[in-house]
Amino acid sequence: MARYFAPALAGLLLLGCGYHRLDNRPRAAAWMVKGQTVRIAAFRNNTPKLGAEETFRKALENRIVAASPWRLVPQSAASRWVLQGAIERYEVRALGLSLGKDSVKGSAGSATRVEVVVVASVQLLDG
């Protein structure tokens, strides 16, 4: 009986001391309030890829609408938050290749899978 008492007492002390995990608690942040408005300002394109900023902006709009608590408003509207930034790097890398046809001389093949890497500097500002 005495050998079960010490582990049981240690367990009770740990439960009673306020120990709890912090990694699964909901995090409340001032900028994550449901229903607040956000607009996306024009992004700068610091890459040689023409139109990368517009493609990135559209993808960001879709992501905000699908998976954020914010309500997206047009660029000309007033909003609580403003997202702005710049595209710093844009790379396309081939991950899988299909070899060219043997019957066609000089056939080089093509990429079957690609990875697109976009490096952006983004700021969230008070509107």
Buried b (16+ CB within 10 A) or exposed e, 60-95: beeebeeeeebebbeeeeebbbbbebbbeebeeeee
Give domain status of residue 19, yes or no: no
Residue 38 lies in a domain: yes
pTM of full prediction above 0.75: no
Number of structural domains the chain divides into: 1
Measured over the CA atoms of residue 95, residue 97, residue 45 and residue 70, the dihedral's sign is negative
Q: How does pLDDT run across 61-119, given as a tens digit for each residue? A: 999 999 888 899 998 999 999 999 999 999 988 888 787 666 666 566 787 888 989 99
Token output for 11: 């367990």
Decide if 93 contacts 114 (C-beta within 8 A). Answer: yes
Q: Is 85 part of any domain?
A: yes
- What range does the domain containing 51 cover? 31-103+110-126
